[in-house]
Structure 1
Amino acid sequence: MVALKLLQQCRISPPPSTVPRPPLPLTFFDIPWLNVNPVDRLFFYRFPHSTAEFLESHLPNLKSSLSLTLSSFYPLAGTIRRSSPDDNRFELCYCEGDSVSLTVCEFENINFEEFSGYHRRPFGKLLLLVPSLHKSDEAQPVFAVQITLFPNKGLCLAVTTHHAACDGFSSIHFLKSWAAAAGRSAPPPPPSLHRSSIPDPRSLYSKLAHIVLQQSLPHHPHPLSPTLAAATFTLPSQKIQNLKLKLHSRFHISTFVISLAHSWTCLLKSKENDDDPHRVAHLFFSVDWRNRMRPPPPANYFGNLLGCPCFVEAKVGDIVEEKDGFLRACEAIGRAIEGIGDDVYEGMEGVIGKVMKILPHRPLSIAGSPKLRVYECNFGWGRPEKVEVASIGGMGAFSMAESRDDGGGVEIGVVLPEDEIARFGIHFNRFLSKCEENIISC
């Protein structure tokens, strides 16, 4: 049993201010995430110092810089609540004195690399690093932090964020701003909190809120099964570029499509008990509308701009076929992206019903994006050694991020039972070997 020692627990508020901070109403982009599990990200850093040095020299700076950053990102210190008891309108509300939970823990005599590496690791151990986010129907907190020390080796800075408060782009914008304040480097531009930049001409908010409050998405608590393991696989940039050149004239092709297609095929091949080649496999992912909306929202808009998921389906037998499976997966995903269109309002009509319809078919989904640039979060200890998304466990999802050490490469994070993750790795590496031998069918 791994013992985790609690060192300190405190709450961090923005600096006291007399400036009014009006509640931010949730938009139709936010409301579908209201009952979805929070997003858990783990940032591992080399930290060759003692626990005493961290507590005396580093923690005070982290606290003060967090407080200062929350002055611009104050909704993260607040809660999600109903605008009034009698309606279905929700808002992000900050009241003077609201705060973020900050927990500091320590592992003694535990190998830092056992947690922070790319290799296969028990998923239950990673969950020890995740901060808890108190659940409430009246006023739901939206953000929490836990720092876990591995004395003289490293530390893990983990954050939990309620998805209805903001998407990955806004969350990482906050973390980079906090990191800049802690490391005394130039900060990114401040966030835009103007919700008026998200019009709702079709009253999508009311339609979506009615469905969300009547039928919430199934809740998946963090599984603690000892058979679950986490691992990260890297798709090298050179192989991605070679595949782009081969496929560019056929359909929409990108780093995202190639990474997603490869991960999908490997995942389906790793399921030994899935012996029905005629079963339809489903995949869906949220579409980022930052550059698709007209007029576009502010570049540093804080909130959610992920909407109307892109739905992909294909027969299992077509995807796992050894010769052309990868190509068929790329084509199915590329064609689906081509069909997204440019009308977010039309796409969001009935979106929750579409998601609910395919959930029984065990669809695969994606958390994160290489565009988030998570390895740029430098708090003064250098770039992270490793970044994990722990909330994918048991959710039928995998994570995607830019490669730490290979510009243009992609990291794929998975959480699967031990036997499946071993088979996933075999198929992943076999694909890379086929790329090396230039025998991928395109």
Structure 2
Amino acid sequence: MRRLWIVILCVIVVTLTAFGASAAVTDVVVVGSGAAGLAAALEARQNGAEVILLEKMPYIGGTTRVAGGGLCAAGVDLQLKAGITEDSPEVHARDMLTLGQYRNDPELVRTVTYNAKHAVDWIRANGVELEDEVVSYMTTYPRIYWCKGRGFGLAEGLAKACREAGVRIDLETRAVKLVQEDGAIVGVIARKANGDEVAYQAKKGVVLATGGFGENQDLFSEYAPELVGIRTNNPKGVATGDGILMAREVGAKLVDMELGRIVPMGVAIGQGAWTSAPVALLTEGGVLVNKKGQLFLKDEQDRDLAVAILAQPDHTGYLFFDGTVLQKVGEDSLARIRDGGALVQGSFEDVAAKFGIDAQGLQDAAKKAGLKAPYYAIAIEPYIHSTTGGLAINTLAQVLDEKGDIIPGLFAAGEVTGGIQGADQKNALIDCLVFGRIAGRNAAQGH
């Protein structure tokens, strides 16, 4: 009996040393409140765990908040009602692997596709509504469904369900360090907006759902130097790679860090908003020029084109075309660009003056390309929509170390992870929900 008391006292001393007497104690700590984090928090709570969700921003939702709100899944009732009965999780998996250029992990991919329908049914059961339509985007069959209110509606719906279930949500609380004892993750150190540090003890597990690293130029410099200088269309201050950095400090393996969903022909349309110029402007006869009016790489491969533009002054290229090209592409396809004030029309002198391009060089480019006045031009700059690399996980959403062993107590879901999307991300938000649920459930059960 005396030995038992000594062991118990030792455990108490270790815990107090790591966290301090003022630490918040709970079963599961979830870091990040996008689709993955909200799904993890709600699933953990529904599996009986006490949950605290930490969000560094003053609002809920992360990048999900401004996302299109699409969910990709085979076999959902909306798909069947539309008469699409040939689709299946296996066809969905093949599409994911093809779009990812087979850089993704087949086991993780199939975990997504075989659980996708259940995730869609689950969010609907928890108050998130979908539009009635089902659409296709580079898939064998239409299987994308839009949340009402898009990404904002998804985030708000899941946040409401979390609050009603009893999840504690601490806003303006940025996780800065994972607490590790005897190899296991037992909590988080966070920093409040006023600079105060707060400790959170997680008796069962920590779930990282902190999103990608589109804003972190240091990580690009380390893993994808050719993309240094690239911007992101994510909300400012969100995609900073916090979870990746914290997990790396405790030995987590990183995979696919050089990969991401790159939009090479991004167009800034004001107030931090971005859209993209149609690639048809190039394929139908338009050209890319730089500040000197020189023609440069014309390539439909997103990454090659992005790298070529990033190598230009100010990381900017200029789409230069004429009325014939515009007629082929269709004026409606440029509506957002035109309405955002980003489409310039006039003589080559007008275009050159507007963008500071060498006029003689631009005239020579027009002649070489066979373009005739009036001319049109759009300033384009690559941006990264999402990073597809991150923490290595298994099908239980457990984070792995460099040897492929699990790091006890640490789970991850969403854009903070790697291995699911591969070379590109065109699968909407479904993997965030699937792996968010898996992470939350397994953390709650102390796996």
Normalised by the size of structure 1, how large is the TM-score? 0.24
Give TM-score scaled by structure 2 length. Answer: 0.24
